[in-house]
Amino acid sequence: MDADLVREHLLLIDDHEFEVRRVDTRKDFIDAVNADGDFDLILSDFDLPDFDGMSALAIARERLPRVPFIFVSGMLGEENAIEALKKGATDYVVKLRMERLQVVVRRALVEARDRNELADKRQALAESEARLRFALEAGRLGSWELTLATGQMRVSQICAANLGLADPAELATYDALLRRVHPEDREYQQAAVRQAVASGSALEVEYRTVWPDGSLHWVQIRGRAVYDRDGIATGLAGVSLNITDRKKAEERQLLLLEELNHRVKNTLAMVQSIAKQTLRATPSVEAFPDAFQSRLRALAQAHDLLTRRQWQGASLSEIAALTLEPHMEAGRVQVSGPGVTLTTGVAVSLHLAFHELATNAAKYGALSTGSGRIDLNWNLVRQPLESRNAPERDALVLHWRESGGPPVVPPTRRGFGSRLIERGLSHELEGEVSLAFDATGVQCRLVIPLSARVSPQ
């Protein structure tokens, strides 16, 4: 009878339609809560067939904390109502005043709707903030806020780390931030902030920062001004990013472009010189293409080797093997010497010199017969450079000796190879070069002072 009475009162509530599910026992109540928790309201008597309403309230608050729970009881007494409200009941209606049920239910449903909407919004906001934090951390972005009136700042942990600081509290003010900016970039940074506030445009600026250990780093700042209802700027907010690695990469790229430009010019100058000297030294126009292409191939071989080494130079052994490898397998060339590192320019010059010596040996010297041989060896010694009357210093002494070939007849004029070796190497390597056409075989001796360009491995 009480349940039917409650139903009738619910039907009297305007603008609401109810689908009522009635349960009588503890098991039915638990099954209903667990199986179908999509309820807008729970009405319960205080005294139930096999358990009490307070137990039902405890179960409901645990399983359905957002659903209003209203007692409709025939038990009088403020103590029961107060105890029920303390335990989480939404309201307490005495059956003798059942007309209150309509008002209580309507109010409970409205309050629950508003409360649930607010909770949903808070949860959505929390989830959005969590996603934002994750995105910022994943992108290594620090967040910051600046209050213009006070100069106070709020920065994230990553934002502080972008300036080399472990504690965000060290960037509590704009002045504290400026102290971290490189002195030469402070005015630029302040001007960018003033422009963003005055124009409402986006703040985007890159500047150098000085970390507590004295090291120099770069940060990128992006943000926008915040305005009140009257259109007055009250603050700035945005993100920061450490771009030191990017700046270093840009510097390296610029240096590489400059180095590439320098190398291309040097290579073109070398090709031009090879063309002029080859044309001048060849006996006929018909012989020019073969001689010129041979020297270009030698130049290309040196560039291929240096490219494989990322243009970080090459060893003397590699340069010797590159030129003489076809003859070394037959045992007609012997190469020996300690490890020596050559920079790119020295490596190319020595390769071209070895190429000229080997070409001459193959045409006229030791490699033109089956019995000839070449010995190429070098050592690191301490001796003076004779032509400069210089004091003793460490030097690379390199010997090229041919033997077993046909008798050598000194040339009547110096060709391209001789000029390259005697003049080019002497100028390029800042050393001593002697080229002798002995009857028993060509001899070449190089004395190259050790330096950053020619150094022991």
Where along the chain do its domains lie? 2-133, 139-242, 248-456
Question: CATH number of 248-456: 3.40.50.300, 3.30.565.10, 3.10.450.40, 3.30.479.30?
Answer: 3.30.565.10
Does 388 score more than 80 pLDDT? Answer: no
Q: What is the pLDDT confidence band of residue 235, given thresholds at 50, 70 and 90?
A: very high
Please determine, for residue 330, whether its predicted confidence score (pLDDT) is greater than 80: no
Residue 146's closest CA among 116, 102, 176, 125?
176
- What is the overall mean pLDDT for the chain? 81
**How far is 288 from 242, CA to CA, in rounded Å?**
58
Fold classification of 2-133 (topology level): Rossmann fold (3.40.50)
Is pLDDT above 90 for 432?
no
- The predicted model gives 114-128 an average pLDDT of 76
User: What is the spatial distance between Cα 442 and Cα 438, in angstroms, rounded to a whole number?
Assistant: 6
| Residue range 249-303, pLDDT digits in tens | 888 887 767 766 665 665 665 566 567 656 665 777 777 787 677 767 766 776 6
- Read off the pLDDT of each residue in 313-332 and give the average, rounded to a whole number: 76
Tens of pLDDT, residue by residue over 38-72, are 788 888 887 777 888 888 889 888 888 888 998 88
The CATH fold of domain 139-242: Beta-Lactamase (3.30.450)
Separation CA 313–CA 454 (nearest Å)? 10
Buried-state track 36-51, b at ≥16 Cβ within 10 A, e below 16: eeebbbbbbbbebeee
Task: Look up residue 324 and give its two tokens.
Answer: 């003489």
**Average pLDDT in the 204-211 region?**
93
- For residue 373, give the H/E element and its range: strand 373-383
| Dihedral over Cα of 73, 78, 79, 85: its sign | positive
pTM: predicted TM-score of the whole model, two decimal places:
0.45
Q: What are phi and psi of 58, to 5 degrees?
A: -60, -40
